Amino acid sequence: MKFKFIHNNFNVLDLEKSLAFYREALGLEEVRRINGPDGQFVLVYLGDGTTPHTLELTWLRDRKEPYNLGDNEFHLAFRVDDYEAALAKHKEMGCVCYENEAMGIYFIVDPDGYWLEVVPTRS
C-alpha cells in the first residue's frame, strides 16, 4: 500500500480575497472548483503549475466568524527561486509576519491568519 500527498485544506471566510492573496503572493492559480448544492459551500483547488500538490480553499456560506486556529503551530512551505525578490514583494504587500534571518526563511500570513513559510532554493 502506498500513499501520496494530494492537497492541504484551509477554510476561508472571504473566498475572493483569499484567491487574490494566493495569486498575488505566491502565484497560485485555480485548477479546479466544486460548487456545493444550493451554494452551501465552494471548494477551490489552487496549484503552482509545477507540482501535482494543491491547496484546497473551502468557503462555507453560513460561516461568519473567523476560524479558531489555536496556536497556529502548523503551516505550508513554499520554495522560491528568487528569495530576495519574494521577500521584498511580501514586505511591500505587508504580509510578512516572521523573519528568521539566521535560518534564511520567513513566513507570510494569509487573510485568515494561516502562516506560509518561504524558503530559498538551496544548492
Q: Render pLDDT for 36-49 as a digit per residue (tens, 0 to 9).
A: 999 999 999 999 99
Q: What is the mean pLDDT of residues 95-116?
A: 96
Q: Render pLDDT for 51-75 as a digit per residue (tens, 0 to 9).
A: 999 999 999 999 999 999 988 888 9
Show which residues are catalytic.
117
Q: Render pLDDT for 11-29 as a digit per residue (tens, 0 to 9).
A: 999 999 999 999 999 999 9
For cell 473567523, the residue is 66
Model's pTM, two decimal places? 0.93
The set of residues, in sequence order, having a beta carbon less than 8 Å from that of 77 and lying 6+ positions away, is 116, 117, 118, 119
Question: What architecture does CATH give domain 7-64+74-120?
Answer: Roll (3.10)
Domain boundaries, the chain: 7-64+74-120
By CB atoms closer than 10 A (0-12, 13-18, 19+), residue 98 is: exposed
